Amino acid sequence: MKKTIALLTGGTTGEWVVSVKSAATIAQNLDPARFEVYKIMLSQQGWFYEPADSLKIEVDRNDFSLTIDGRKIRFDGVFIAIHGSPGEDGKLQGYFDMIGIPYTTCDALTSAITMNKGYTKAIVHDIEELSVAESVQLMHAEDAAGKVKEKLKLPYFVKPNNGGSSIGMSKVKSGDELQAALDKAFKEDSQVLVEEFVSGREFSVGVFRSGGVIRVLPATEVIPANEFFDFEAKYTPGATEEITPGRMTDEERARVERIVTKIYDRLNCRGIVRVDYFLEEGTGKFYFIEINTIPGQTITSFIPQQVAAMGVELKTFYTELLDETIGR
């Protein structure tokens, strides 16, 4: 018997553009023999199903259902493909928990915590073999520059604490660049995280649970043409060299798999997440950068690349994901 799945896309932040592309990849690769899929767009204007052949139909938010030609459609589960708010920060997860519909992502608590980079680091910092960069979490813009200069050594990374897709992020090499970087980050968020720069090779790796077992995809090594992996580098073709599987020794690969499995477990993750990390220059130490609980699924995104590198079709991968999170 087919499951009726709502594929939820859009969102209310600048990342909605990426969400729409992610949903297109997912829609193309969901097994039509197993799933009947309704793509639903969430925006400031409302929540709508937009069939190709008729006017858009508003979702009844009382029970998250659709009425089409007098027939009420209820969903067995929701594939959440919204990056940023309200898909990745726990708001939608809380709503679906309340009305009793399963979904493909981490629960409301994990989603909310992991959107906050500073809080996430506080939870994972004592995992064996994991290091975190020295940092300052700023709750107010007043005297922010003074606090940073007092506690951290240049150069710095300045980033909005709750943002995604590297929007509002800057690398600061001298003290006189700091205020502009802080202003840019505070424009995106009321909290800002400033970290000391770790010099090393950057990687991103997908982690998911299938058949009850935590599994790690082949990692992608990220080599930006500019200084760091910002929004433009992420979404401009050719701006970044990406190698999947990334270049690691057998020891590094085994250690990374151990650490990211522990991160997934410690944060009580569900579905597919992506952990970004550095291997420090010289020492090879693992430095945690951040975790994305709804990683991009555009055709050029890391997760589809890594699934291909593992030798698995996306259709099979998404089926496993849905079976694990929503049930067979």
Higher confidence at residue 69 or residue 245? 245
Q: If you ran DSSP here, which 8-state letter would residue 146 be given?
A: H
In a 10 Å sphere around its CB, with 0-12 CB exposed, 13-18 middle and 19+ buried, how is residue 311 labelled?
exposed
Residue pair 83/115 in contact by the 8 Å Cβ criterion? no
Evaluate if residue 226 carries a pLDDT over 70: no
| Distance separating alpha carbons of residues 318 and 321, to the nearest angstrom | 5
Please name the residues in contact with 115: beta carbons below 8 A apart, sequence gap of 6 or more: 88, 89, 90, 162, 164, 293
**For 295-313, what is each residue's pLDDT tens digit?**
999 998 999 999 999 999 9
Distances in Å between the alpha carbon of 12 and those of 16, 61, 63, 109, 185? 7, 17, 21, 20, 18
| Distance separating alpha carbons of residues 99 and 9, to the nearest angstrom | 19
What's the rounded mean pLDDT across residues 273-287?
96
Q: Which two tokens stand for residue 251?
A: 């020891």
| Domains, the chain, ordered by start | 3-105 (3.40.50.20), 113-132+198-325 (3.30.470.20), 135-196 (3.30.1490.20)
pTM value is: 0.89
Pick the range with the lowest mean pLDDT from 73-82, 224-233, 258-267, 298-307. 224-233
Residue pair 176/182 in contact by the 8 Å Cβ criterion? no
Q: If you ran DSSP here, which 8-state letter would residue 2 be given?
A: P
Name the average pLDDT for the chain: 91
Tell which residue, 323, 204, 203, has the closest CA to residue 271: 323
Distances in Å between the alpha carbon of 200 and those of 221, 259, 288? 11, 17, 12
- Using CA of residue 55, residue 56, residue 62, residue 67, what is the dihedral sign? positive
Please name the residues in contact with 208: beta carbons below 8 A apart, sequence gap of 6 or more: 214, 215, 217, 271, 272, 273, 320, 321, 324
| Distance separating alpha carbons of residues 98 and 83, to the nearest angstrom | 21
